[in-house]
């Protein structure tokens, strides 16, 4: 496959970036998207040019580290992470535009790498349960209803990749926050801190400069883990309950 | 970029979700109003006297507990408060959204969002501009575009919609209203946290379609039937 790539280059957070054009030949359709970028970087290295910086870690779709805006779609045209996207999803002669996640709360570190620390700080602001240390409690001593456990498990698949923020026209992280609120709120262990969790996480969300949700659904379409929109409804309901309880 | 610190002294009332809740509640108040308003307009099909009697009756509603026109003023004050809340919250959220993505994408595809969801803000401005003309036309100014009498509600209505371009303006506004209600109804239910399952989400979206079609369709009937000469003076 022969490809034309338009890629965002930016030396660091303090300078202006710009789109650069690269021609790449000999791409196999069995390569992953990141392997295709590896091939390009090898060529850039050979020419003595600065290779393109992009994030990746596990390369098996479970860590949430990789994330690129590919032709205007977070993680590209398939419902998966960028590392699990393969070149067979593209055609010979295609022109591909590759950009970093764009959000005030995700500053560009270099080229296609952004700082997603804002997601960690939202977790720090309530996305946890406080548990005593010591030996593990007897597993059956805290019963959890099956449907609630399943819902919690399904939304706990969120890997915090930030695609929801990248795809949202408002730059909102509501799907991420909603996934955490639902995940912990459906389980017995999440109940004592339920009100303070939602208020804390939403306050940190707003503080980081994420936008408000307008329920349009671009986030859930971009989510590689297919987190549904109802977690945002759950988030709103939990916030409303906390409001009623005077938090 | 916001400073990478943890925020202190958090309050649920200061959150973006609290802003959205005020938008949802004021929006639901508007949905109730337009449903009632649309139903009242259909009185035009019953003829001159029935329509004018209905308009007069609105002023007598609640008497003698309320003074003459008292019910209308309660409604007006309520709607003005809802309008201020709705617009102020919308502007605050719009500004926040604009700041949340200072560098826009070179390429951005919409994969799942409806056209009506993406046009809520400009659609809202369209409805607001229409509202100004609508009030000048029928309430505050009472402007008869044909230059005739203005103190007879039914005749003012017929004179207005007899002009094709007036009917066209109203129909354009109804398209804007339908799109706003289509997304707004579902969005309000979601913001209120009432769509926690796939089933209730599908139901809320269906309600959005029904409200949009019933309200905008019902409103459009009277101007169209005047234009086509079914409703006449």
Instruction: Give every CB contact of residue A212 below 8 A, 6+ residues apart in sequence.
Output: A170, A172, A174, B16, B17, B19, B20, B93, B96, B97
Task: For A100, name the nearest residue in chain B, comparing CA atoms only.
Answer: B105
Write the CA distances from A240 to A78, A197, B85, B105, integer angstroms: 35, 13, 18, 34
> How do the pLDDT tens digits run along chain B, 233 residues long?
445 889 888 888 889 999 999 999 999 999 999 999 999 999 999 999 999 999 999 999 988 999 999 999 999 999 999 999 999 999 999 999 999 999 999 999 999 999 999 999 999 999 999 999 999 999 988 999 998 889 999 999 999 999 999 999 999 999 999 999 999 999 999 999 999 999 999 999 999 999 999 999 999 999 999 999 999 98
DSSP for residue A32: B
CATH number of A3-110: 3.10.20.30
Superfamily name and number for A116-244: Alpha-helical ferredoxin (1.10.1060.10)
**Burial of B101 per CB tally in 10 Å (0-12, 13-18, 19+):** buried
Planar angle of CA B115, B117, B119, nearest 5 degrees: 70
For CA atoms A132, A135, A139, A140, the dihedral sign is: negative
Judged by CB atoms closer than 8 Å, whether chains meet at B16 and A71 is answered as: no
**ipTM value:** 0.92
Mean pLDDT of all residues belonging to chain A: 96
**A213 is written with which tokens?**
């949700």
**Long-range contacts (CB closer than 8 Å, 24 or more residues apart) made by B163-167:** B164/B227, B166/B223, B167/B223, B167/B224, B167/B226, B167/B227
* Helix axes B16-41 and A194-207, enclosed angle (nearest 10): 90
Instruction: Give every CB contact of residue B169 below 8 A, 6+ residues apart in sequence.
Output: B130, B133
3-state secondary structure B51-115: HHHHHHHHHHCCCCCCCCCHHHHHHHHHHHHHHHHHHHHHHHHHHHHHHHCCCCCCCCCCCCCCH
pLDDT in tens, A185-223: 999 999 999 999 999 999 999 999 999 999 999 999 999
Judged by CB atoms closer than 8 Å, whether chains meet at A71 and B109 is answered as: yes
Judged by CB atoms closer than 8 Å, whether chains meet at A199 and B11 is answered as: yes
Interface A:B, Cβ pairs < 8 A: 187
- Number of domains into which chain B is organized: 1
Question: Any CB–CB contact under 8 A between A122 and chain B?
Answer: no
Confidence category of residue A54, pLDDT binned at 50, 70, 90 = very high
Domain that residue B153 falls in: 16-98+117-227
What would the mean pLDDT of A164-172 be, rounded to a whole number?
97
**A150 is written with which tokens?**
């399943």
User: Which part of chain A has CATH 3.10.20.30?
Assistant: 3-110
Question: Any CB–CB contact under 8 A between A242 and chain B?
Answer: yes
Tell me the residue length of chain A.
247
pLDDT in tens, A215-225: 999 999 999 99
3-state secondary structure A54-119: CCCCCCCCCCCCCCCEECCEECCCCCCCHHHCEHHHCCCCCEEEEECCCECCECEEECCEECCHHH
Task: For B91, name the nearest residue in chain A, comparing CA atoms only.
Answer: A212
| Upstream peptide bond of B64 is cis (omega within 30 degrees of 0) | yes
Chain A residues within an 8 Å CB radius of B93: 170, 211-212, 214
Instruction: Give every CB contact of residue B41 below 8 A, 6+ residues apart in sequence.
Output: B218, B219, B221, B222
User: What's the rounded Cα separation, in Å, for the pair B176 and B124?
Assistant: 8
Determine, yes or no, domain membership for B186: yes
Report pLDDT for B4: 80
Closest Cα in chain B, distance from residue A211 (Å): 5
Determine, yes or no, domain membership for B9: no
Determine, yes or no, domain membership for B34: yes
- Please, which residues 138-197 of chain A have a Cβ atom closer than 8 Å to chain B? 167, 169-172
Report pLDDT for A133: 83
pLDDT in tens, A139-150: 888 899 999 999
- Please, which residues 44-73 of chain A have a Cβ atom closer than 8 Å to chain B? 69, 71-73
Report pLDDT for A146: 96
- Which of B30-68 are b and which e, b meaning 16 or more Cβ less than 10 Å from the residue's Cβ? bbeebeeebeebebbeeebeebbebeeeebebeeeeeee
User: Which part of chain A has CATH 1.10.1060.10?
Assistant: 116-244
Determine, yes or no, domain membership for B44: yes
Do residues B189 and B205 touch, judged by C-beta distance below 8 A? Answer: no
Task: For A182, name the nearest residue in chain B, comparing CA atoms only.
Answer: B196
Report pLDDT for B3: 59
Closest Cα in chain B, distance from residue A221 (Å): 6
User: What's the rounded Cα separation, in Å, for the pair A100 and A166?
Assistant: 9
User: What's the rounded Cα separation, in Å, for the pair B223 and B38?
Assistant: 12
The pLDDT of residue A175 is above 80? yes
Judged by CB atoms closer than 8 Å, whether chains meet at B196 and A230 is answered as: yes
Chain A residues within an 8 Å CB radius of B187: 214-215
């Amino acid at each position: 496959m022969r490809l034309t790539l338009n890629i965002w280059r930016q030396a660091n957070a303090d300078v202006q970036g710009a789109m650069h054009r690269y021609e790449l030949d000999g791409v196999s359709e069995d390569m992953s998207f990141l392997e295709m970028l590896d091939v390009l970087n090898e060529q850039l290295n050979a020419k003595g040019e600065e290779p393109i910086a992009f994030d990746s870690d596990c390369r098996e779709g479970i860590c949430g580290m990789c994330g690129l805006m590919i032709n205007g779609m977070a993680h590209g045209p398939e419902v998966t992470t960028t590392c699990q996207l393969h070149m067979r999803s593209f055609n010979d002669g295609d022109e591909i535009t590759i950009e970093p996640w764009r959000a005030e709360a995700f500053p560009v570190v270099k080229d296609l790498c952004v700082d997603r620390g804002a997601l960690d700080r939202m977790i720090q602001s309530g996305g946890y349960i406080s548990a005593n240390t010591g030996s593990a409690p007897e597993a059956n001593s805290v019963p959890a209803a099956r449907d609630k456990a399943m819902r919690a498990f399904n939304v706990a698949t969120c890997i915090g990749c930030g695609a929801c923020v990248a795809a949202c026209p408002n730059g909102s992280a509501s799907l991420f926050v909603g996934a955490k609120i639902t995940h912990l709120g459906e389980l017995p262990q999440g109940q004592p801190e339920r009100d303070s969790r939602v208020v804390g996480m939403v306050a940190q969300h707003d503080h980081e400069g994420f936008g408000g949700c307008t329920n349009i659904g671009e986030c859930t379409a971009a989510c590689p883990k297919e987190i549904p929109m109802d977690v945002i409804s759950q988030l709103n309901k939990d916030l409303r309950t906390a409001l009623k309880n005077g938090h | 970029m916001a400073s990478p610190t943890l925020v202190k002294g958090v309050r649920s009332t200061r959150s973006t979700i609290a802003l959205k809740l005020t938008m949802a509640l004021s929006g639901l108040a508007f949905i109730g109003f337009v449903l009632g308003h649309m139903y009242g307009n259909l009185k035009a099909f019953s003829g001159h006297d029935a329509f004018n009697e209905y308009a007069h009756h609105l002023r007598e509603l609640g008497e003698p507990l309320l003074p003459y026109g008292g019910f209308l003023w309660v409604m007006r004050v309520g709607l003005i408060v809802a309008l201020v809340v709705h617009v102020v919250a919308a502007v605050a959220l719009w500004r926040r959204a604009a700041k949340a993505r200072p560098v826009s994408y070179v390429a951005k595809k919409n994969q799942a969002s409806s056209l009506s969801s993406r046009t809520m803000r400009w659609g809202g401005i369209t409805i607001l501009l229409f509202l100004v003309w609508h009030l000048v036309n029928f309430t505050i100014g009472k402007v008869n575009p044909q230059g005739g009498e203005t103190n007879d509600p039914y005749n003012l209505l017929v004179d207005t919609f007899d002009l094709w371009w007036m009917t066209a303006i109203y129909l354009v506004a109804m398209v804007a209203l339908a799109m706003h209600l289509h997304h707004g109804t579902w969005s309000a239910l979601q913001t209120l946290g009432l769509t926690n399952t796939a089933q209730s989400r599908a139901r809320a979206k269906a309600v959005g379609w029904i409200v949009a079609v019933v309200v905008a369709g019902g409103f459009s009937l009277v101007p169209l039937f005047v234009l086509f000469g079914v409703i006449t003076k």
